[in-house]
Chains A and B, each alone.
Chain A
Amino acid sequence: MSFQVMLQQLSSGMLSTMGIFFLTLLFSLPLGLIIAFGRMSKNKILSGFVSLLISILRGTPLMLQLMVWYFFPFYLMGWSISGWRFPAVIVGFSINYAAYFAEIYRSGIEAIPKGQYEAGQILGYSKSQSFFKIILPQVIKIILPSITNEVITLVKDTSLAFSITYIEMFTLAKQIAAAETSMMPFVIAAIFYYVFNALVAFVMGRLEKKMNYYS
């Protein structure tokens, strides 16, 4: 296989990897906020249930969760799972990452002093108004570095999708390496991951700078 074909193959694999990456962020970032609200709910049953959920999602390997999402509809309900492979990857990743994001959101939300809600109330803001207009902007500023950490981890975690045979970049690298009996594809894969993560870190860095409006 020529170097050019190898690059082409790995680039097409990179598209699949980026597909997982962007869709996971798209679903897990908002879902995380909802889970965070559940976790902080005054309703003991709800918050207890959500805590258990987060504990399971964080306490079991993502690889195992992917297998559960993919094969359970068949083993439990006897449904056909053809065409379910990619959706299962996205569901698995999104829910797993939402659990992590939820705890990050919570750390940010709980860092805001209660007095700010009270001040909002005195100024005539409703509860949701003070949350979205006063609290959330500050929360985002606080949690951005932690989010960056998770996002970078996500880029590398995409390779776990192969546990349910979704072909992404790293899987292709392994296949090419096997056929060519060469380590070159892994070197290229490493460069791809690094460049993509450098881009992610750059974008997040810019975002942080933009948020840095107090200094």
Chain B
Amino acid sequence: MKFKKFVKKLSVGLVAVAMMATTLTGCGEKKKDTFTVGFDAEYPPYGYMDENGEYTGFDLELAEAVCELKGWELVKQPIAWDNKDNELNSGSIDCIWNGFTINGREDEYEWSRPYVDNSQVIVVAVDSGITDFAGLSGKKVGVQTASAALSVLQDEEGQKALADTFAELNEFSDYNTAFLELEAGSVDAIAMDIGVAQYQIESRGDGKFIILDEHLNAEQYGIGFKKGNTELKNEVEDALKTLKENGKFDELAKKYGLEDMTCLSFE
């Protein structure tokens, strides 16, 4: 059975290679009945792999609901976060929908209206003795590459002054590694989104890590479309409006413990 599947996969690959010329030259307009969402599959609770090995999360379920309304077929395309712009510009994905921070990227994408109020926060180990930003002075801080937290820490008008007091600012690729380093003591703190921080702290067992009361900033999440693609953006926003009105949006927010953070409004 497995072997059969494998042979099938192989032959699909072979056919794909053989047809590469046709796919490349044939190009043609993308069919409107699929809606491809690009997301980082290592970003719970917004996009991640669930118990059964299916991709899920607040953002993906929301996208699913939008597609149901619109009669589109949702394609969940995990992407390498560093390559998100290439994926979007080349048309491999229709939008980036993944706890995607608007602030600081206003001009780079066609943004939907914001739907989640987010803050960038600092997570430390409970026994580290760090209780406020002043305590971070001379400490090693980790942050995800190409993340909003990193931009805030590098922005002169943001928290660059604070970042300058750190001994080191280390970039890492995923939160698992970061928390392992925090636990092992090779970094003293991690800067990240509050929603992600809550998920990580909860699933790693209470009482090990805490979020500092001071926040790095306040910012908002939106859905990022390719610059100029207002048509698709408007269609998705229309659907979001319906979902907000019929209560589906709030229901999903509640399911993922984000009900205090949503800010979708059509007034």
Q: How far is the CA of A19 from the CA of B203 in the complex (A)?
A: 34
When the two chains form their complex, are residues B53 and A9 in contact, meaning their CB atoms are under 8 A apart? yes
- Indicate if A67 sits at the interface (CB-CB under 8 A): yes
* Complex CA–CA separation, A83 to B83 (angstroms): 17
**Separation of A67 and B87 alpha carbons in the complex (Å):** 11
Q: Is there contact, CB below 8 Å, between B6 and A164? A: no
User: Which residue, of B17, B180, B200, has the highest number of chain A Cβ atoms within 10 A?
Assistant: B17
Minimum CB–CB distance from A180 to chain B (whole Å) comes to 8
Contact of A90 among B13, B30, B87, B175 (CB under 8 A): B13
Taking a contact as CB atoms under 8 Å apart, the answer to whether A23 and B80 are in contact is no
Give every chain A residue within 8 A of B80 (Cβ-Cβ). 162-165
Cβ distance B109 to chain A, nearest Cβ, rounded Å? 18
**Residues of chain A from 180 to 197 with CB closer than 8 A to chain B in the complex:** 180-181, 183
Distance in angstroms from B182 CB to nearest chain A CB is 12
Shortest CB–CB separation between residue B53 and chain A, in angstroms? 4
Bound-state Cα–Cα, A178 to B92, Å: 24
Smallest CB gap from A94: residue in B: B17
* Closest B residue by C-beta to A163: B80
Main secondary structure of the interface of A (DSSP, over half): helix
Residue B174 lies at the interface, judged by CB distance under 8 Å to chain A:
yes
By size class, the interface of chain B is 35 or more
- The answer on a CB contact under 8 Å between A85 and B179 is no
Kindly state the separation between the CA atoms of A87 and B49 in the bound complex, as whole angstroms. 26
Answer whether A5 and B52 are a contact pair too, CB < 8 Å, given A15-B6, A23-B13, A86-B13: yes
User: Is B79 in the interface zone, CB < 8 Å from A?
Assistant: yes
Give the nearest-CB partner of B202 in chain A: A181
Hey, which chain B residues are within 8 Å of A183, CB to CB? 176, 180
Q: Taking the nearest CB of chain B, how far is it from the CB of A21, in angstroms?
A: 10
Q: Which of A38-46, A48-56, A72-80, A124-132 faces chain B?
A: A72-80
Q: Which residues of A contact B (CB under 8 A)?
A: 1-2, 5, 8-9, 11, 15-16, 18-19, 22-23, 67, 71, 73-75, 79-87, 90-91, 162-165, 167, 171-172, 174-181, 183
- Assuming A80-B23, A90-B13, A165-B77, what are 20 further A-B pairs, CB within 8 angstroms? A1-B50, A9-B49, A9-B53, A15-B5, A23-B10, A23-B13, A79-B24, A80-B27, A81-B92, A82-B30, A83-B16, A165-B79, A165-B83, A165-B92, A172-B49, A174-B174, A175-B41, A176-B49, A178-B174, A181-B179
